[in-house]
Amino acid sequence: MVTLLSAATTLLALAQPSTAVLSPPMIRSGDQQAPVQPGDDASPTTHTSQSVAVEAADGAVPIRSIGFSGMDAPLAVADAARPYVGRKATRQTLAELAHAISRAYSRTGIALYTVAIPRQDFGSGHVRVLLAEGFVEDIAFPKGASSLVEAYAAPLRAERPLRRRTLERSLSLMRDIPGAQVDATLLRGDEPGGVRLSVTQERKHSDLAFGYDNRSQSGLGDGQLRASAKLYSLFQDGDRTELAVLTAGDLKHYRYAGLGHQMPIGAQGLVLGLSGSWLDTRLKGQPITGEAQTLGLSLSYPIIRGYKRNLTVSAGIDGLNSNAAYLGAVVSSDRIRAVRAAIGFAEAGPRSALSLAATVTQGLDIWGARGLPGFTDIRFTKIVANAQVDRALGKRLVGRLRLTGQYSDDRLGGNERIVIGGADFGRAFDTALLSGDRGAAGSFEMALRPSLPERFKGTEVYAFIDGARIRVLERLAQPTADYSFASAGGGLRMAYTPRASLSLEGARAIKWPFAGPDGSWRVNIAWSLKLRR
């Protein structure tokens, strides 16, 4: 008899974890990531044992009944066997029966199971199928393991039979450890139904990244230089410390520094985050200089952590002090205090990926909060929603849809507004060209990934169209105003291993938010380089 671990191959593949950021950035500062291709497998290779055991010889009689021994068959498994009653008990039929039972078992939530049809006499027309549900009898760490990894692995030993959600959650949490690469292998154990899990962990200690984007932050000079450093397990196992530094291309019109730290709490995936940032702005062509600082704290927890589906909730509190700083396309002199709650859902399949997120923010009148009277409400409520859909179309094409929206009945400060223009929505326009109290934006992209050597995996050519509409609520003598724009274009994203990328894009303005030169073109160039050790 051979043990069937048919669930193991897919269960030991890793889906990308989802993250949520609660505190809005003061400036568009994130690295421009290459979009994910549905079906991409970023997981480490896992070796598993997988087979169906059919040891019985051909039988000439029709199958009159099918029975299960070893354990009671789940209803779905028994239903999968019924269509084979009445067929002749040939070896081919028995193999098809075993595979049908295995497929049904894979949908029961059991991670490890055995399906076997042993040698037997079919004279009576009865077929006996052996079933067993597996468990982890031992876990080995050939290269050692930290206390956090051992804590994440502990539930795997405790559960009999082992369920898929437990296996997925434990291994995913291990792979979520910043800087860690985990390879898990299932081996046959000594006990009936038992397996041994071998967990090998490789660690890196830091990531460094440098980049340039010629897109202009509206009103803040030409282009953007950025550098970031990530340090892993600096103070405790599983923590991450990140420093980001940005500046305008001329090194004068803005300077930004952000520091963040995340640390695990317990062994269930709860993460505490601390963040702070500083910004200095000098408006181009205007004698206005400003400064702003932020400080925030957040907690996040994965309610569902699996390979195909993830559901994460977050909550946080943060504050902003600004003095004539240029935020969200407006000059801001506010002190904003806010609490935020967020929920994010992600689902990935072989040909598609879906991501949904929503955040509710409430402004608070505490700790010296203040806003410019008539322009900024310190007690405010806003709701933000985002959706991303990626769909593979054939072997080389992928379609990508991005949607975002924000709603508020209050007059928001610059850092709380919905901002449009730049790499996300409005690619033919300056970054953060406009901002509003409410609005919506969307983009659609079609990309082609040519057949290239492995080191150029991720390279693609693409075409896009995007648009946005925002509303700025009435402020003193300024009436409510609506703005909208749209753009289209295409480009090339060139990847050289995961460490270097170059983006060349041409974008044409279809509709300007003001009376302007519709049809004008813009060339966007960006590059990035990543180092690690």
Spatial distance between the Cα atoms of 386 and 19, rounded to a whole number of angstroms? 13
Residues with Cβ within 8 Å of residue 260, at least 6 apart in sequence:
241, 242, 273, 274, 275, 276
Please give the Cα distance from 420 to 432 (Å, whole number).
5
474 is a domain residue = no
pTM: 0.86
Same domain, 128 and 140: no
pLDDT at 518 (0 to 100): 65
Enumerate the H helices of 431-528 as residue ranges.
none
Position 122 in a domain: yes
In order, the DSSP letters of 24-79 are PPSS-----PPPPPTT---SPP-------EE-PPP--SBP-EEEEESSPPPHHHHH
Q: Which residue, of 133, 153, 185, is where some domain finishes? A: 133
100 & 143 share domain: no
The candidate with the shortest Cα–Cα distance to 209, out of 187, 220, 225, 191, is 225
434 bridge partner residues: 420
Asked whether residue 253 is assigned to any structural domain, the reply reads: no
Question: pLDDT (tens digit, 0 to 9) for every residue of the chain, 533 residues total?
Answer: 333 233 333 333 323 333 333 444 455 444 444 444 555 444 433 333 334 566 555 667 899 999 999 888 999 999 999 999 999 988 889 999 999 999 998 889 999 888 998 888 888 899 999 998 999 999 999 988 889 999 999 999 999 999 999 999 999 999 999 999 999 998 888 888 889 999 998 989 999 999 999 998 878 888 999 999 999 999 999 999 999 999 998 888 999 999 999 999 999 999 999 999 999 999 988 899 999 999 999 999 999 999 999 999 999 999 999 999 998 889 999 999 999 999 999 999 999 999 999 999 999 999 999 999 999 999 999 999 999 999 999 999 999 999 999 999 999 999 999 999 999 999 999 999 999 999 999 999 999 999 999 999 999 999 999 999 999 999 988 999 999 999 999 999 999 988 999 999 999 999 999 876 667 899 999 999 999 76
Length of the chain: 533
Domain end call among 103, 133, 163: 133
For residue 266, tell me if it sits in a domain: no
Residues 199, 140: one domain?
yes
Residues 171 and 139 in one domain: yes
d(CA 221, CA 79): 68
Q: Does 254 fall in a domain?
A: no
Q: Identify whether 465 is part of a domain.
A: no
Q: Considering the domain boundaries, does residue 75 fall inside one?
A: yes
Number of structural domains in the chain: 2
Q: Assess whether 56 and 110 both reside in one domain.
A: yes
Residue 196 maps to which CATH number? 3.10.20
CATH number of the domain bearing residue 79: 3.10.20.310
Half-sphere exposure (Cβ direction) of 253: Cα atoms closer than 13 Å = 19
Q: Measure Cα distances from 223 to 168, 212, 525 in Å.
A: 43, 7, 10
**Cβ(179)–Cβ(204) under 8 Å?**
yes
d(CA 464, CA 400): 9
CA distance linking residue 297 with residue 319, whole number of Å: 9
Q: Which of 133, 164, 184 is the last residue of a domain?
A: 133
User: Can you give the residue range of the structural domain that contains 61?
Assistant: 52-133
Q: d(Cα 111, Cα 184) in Å, to the nearest integer?
A: 14
Q: For residue 422, what is the DSSP state?
A: S
Handedness of CA 189, 186, 170, 389 (dihedral sign): negative
60 & 91 share domain: yes
In a domain, 58, yes or no: yes
